[in-house]
Every structure is written in structure tokens, then in C-alpha cells.
Amino acid sequence: MMIKYADQIYIAHHQSTLGAAIVRQLLSQGYSQRQLVTRDDLDLCDQAQVLAFFAQERPDQVYFPSGALHREALSPEAIATDMASAVNVMQAAYETNVDRLLFITGAFVYPQRALLPIAEEELFNGLPSAEWRGQAVAQWAAMELCESYSHPSRRRPADFRCAVACQHYGPVNLLTHDTTLVTDLIHRIQQARQSDQLFVTISGDPNERHELLHVDDMADACLHVLQLPRNDFMGSTAPMGRHINIGSGEEISLSDLTYELAGDMGYTGCINFEPSPAAQPQRRLLDSWRLHSLGWSALRELQDGLKQLNNSPLAIQTCQPEQWRSLLTSSTAHID
């Protein structure tokens, strides 16, 4: 896999959990902080502002973790924001001749009744769950836009790619709101332990199973997908399905996950689960054979990753806020 160290790379949502992990992976691969282009005050919903930013910075590669990579369904306003952001970034990337772009979304885009494990071909074989329908359709549009810009019939086809990822867990940025399942559970258990609560209530069906992947492994997979030669990526995908699944293949029930985290954190109170009467437990186990066949595999097993996470000083952190700012923000458009 050839890495061009001269590249300028834009990481959208760079202070999100996955965005920060992508930054760490790029730095570990030998890229310098000066090559990682970002701007905290860039309004991705402002088309003119986004285009001006791309025209000035001229990034060669773009990583775009969708704002929809959450465990909870988004409001209509948040869905509209995410759609506008994706359209503006892709249009600006195309107009400024970005070499490669990777759009990353979540497994909720797949149909409610998709066959398990869910292969890439299942994408349009039915409707997503009612809870996620608006969000999923918005992500479909963004994925279709990626494929349209890259279609060989275009006079100047782009190289825009998509990845569909399972749920991630791992160190998070304390400056931003994180809604991933593991982080939410840790927060609840921490609060119960610190306030000596006799029990903690967890929303959800205890038998519902979740596929989890450490965020650093997910970031490594994202780099792997974007750095693949174009012919390899195109040859491993098909029209109306130009995306690759990123999953661990490891599932755990909500009950087992909660009790394991509680045990590691020393919480000995009772745990009550409250399933939503309207919600139906859904498995979203992804078939990641395609990615594995292209040479990628995760480094961390789920049990080891969870223990490593709980052994950190505050259970969930990457660094103190002032350290975070010094690494990922500056008064310019570059990471200094």
C-alpha cells in the first residue's frame, strides 16, 4: 500500500471519537501535524464557506465520518444538517479535484430484515427500521452522491468511497458529546458508583446483541480502505454498492456488556434493564469478509479492548482538554 507523505488530508468532525482516532492513525503512519488540515469554525452547512476552504487548502484526501454515527436517532434538524454537510463537502471536493474521499456511515442504513451477517449487497433489499428510516434514507442519498461523482461515465470521474461501520468504542474527546453505547454505559455506571446508588437503570433489551469495534481499529480500517489502489476498491465492489463494511465480527449482549463494565469498574449495585415497549431488538452484525479479503483485520479483541478502556485513569479519555487543544486545534487551518 503506497502512502504519499506529501498529501494534505482533511478530517471532517476531527474532534469526534472516530475523527480523533483517524488523526492518531495518520500521525502513527508518519504524516506530520502540518499535513492534517482542519478548522474548528468551518460551517459545513455553508456551501460557499466550504468551497472557499477547499479552494484555499487544496486537500488531496478527505475523511468524512458522518455526523450520523450515533447510537441514538437524530432529530429532523440534525438529519438536515448532516445531509447538507455531506453534499457541501463532496461538491467542494469534486470541484477542487480532491484525489480521494471516504464517507463513513453506520450499520443502521441496512434494511430491518437484512440477512445476517449483513453483506454489502443487502443495502437496498428492504426498508430500514421505522426508528432510523429518515436518518438511513439521508445516508443513502449521501452514499449515492459518492457513487455518482465516481461513475466512469463522467468526463472526470472522482474517487469517492463509502464505508459502513459497526458501533465503535474507545477513548473519547472530553470536549464533545459522545453517544456511543459503551461510553453511555460507563457514564451511567460511574455516576452510580460515585453517588453510592444501590442500583442503576439501563435503557434497552438486555438480550439485544451489539457488534463492537475499537475506534482505533476502525480508524485503521478507514485508512486501509482509502489507501487501497482504485482498481482494487472498484474490483471488490459493485454498482449500487460501492461501499465496504467495517466490523469486528464480535457481538455481545447488552446484559453481558453492562455487567462486564460494572465488574471492571468495581460497581457492586443492582442493574435494572428497561426495554422500550415500542422498540424491537435488532442485530446489525456486519459481514466484513470483503474488507478482510483486502488485507485488513482488527488488532484488538473485544474483551481486551474493554479492559484496556476501563484501566485508563478516568475510564474514558484521550487527554486533558488543554492537551487536546494543543494537538488538534489552532488559530489557523492546520493542526499545529
In a domain, 153, yes or no: yes
Across 40-54, 68-82, 109-123, 253-267, least confident range:
68-82
What is the average pLDDT across 85-112? 96
Can you give the pTM of this predicted structure?
0.90
In a domain, 256, yes or no: no
What is the average pLDDT across 245-272? 95
> Minimal CA–CA distance to 137: which of 148, 119, 124?
124
- Whether residue 179 contacts residue 324, with contact meaning beta carbons closer than 8 Å, is answered with no
In a domain, 120, yes or no: yes
Range of the domain at 41: 9-176+212-249+282-300+318-328
User: 3 or 256, which is more confident?
Assistant: 256
pLDDT at 324 over 70: no
pLDDT at 39 over 70: yes
**Is the sign of the CA dihedral 277, 278, 279, 280 positive or negative?**
positive
Q: What pLDDT is stored for residue 187 in this prediction?
A: 87
In a domain, 305, yes or no: no
User: 86 or 240, which is more confident?
Assistant: 86
Report d(CA 241, CA 136) in Å as an integer.
15
- Whether residue 13 contacts residue 65, with contact meaning beta carbons closer than 8 Å, is answered with yes
Q: Report the number of distinct structural domains present in the chain.
A: 1
% of the chain exceeding 90 in pLDDT: 67
pLDDT, one tens digit per residue, over 176-226 is 556 789 988 988 998 999 999 999 999 999 999 999 999 999 999 999 999
pLDDT at 323 over 70: no
In a domain, 233, yes or no: yes
- Whether residue 122 contacts residue 110, with contact meaning beta carbons closer than 8 Å, is answered with yes
**Confidence label for 5 from pLDDT (cuts 50, 70 and 90):** low
In a domain, 313, yes or no: no
What is the average pLDDT across 320-327? 42
**Confidence label for 261 from pLDDT (cuts 50, 70 and 90):** very high
Q: What pLDDT is stored for residue 333 in this prediction?
A: 37
Q: What pLDDT is stored for residue 332 in this prediction?
A: 32
In a domain, 311, yes or no: no
Provide the CATH number for the domain around residue 294: 3.40.50.720
In a domain, 61, yes or no: yes
Q: What pLDDT is stored for residue 312 in this prediction?
A: 56
pLDDT, one tens digit per residue, over 274-293 is 998 766 667 899 999 999 99
Report d(CA 67, CA 168) in Å as an integer.
14
What is the average pLDDT across 129-137? 89
In eight-state DSSP terms, residue 156 is S
Provide the mean pLDDT of the chain: 87
Q: What pLDDT is stored for residue 64 in this prediction?
A: 97
Q: What pLDDT is stored for residue 317 in this prediction?
A: 42
What is the average pLDDT across 86-113? 96
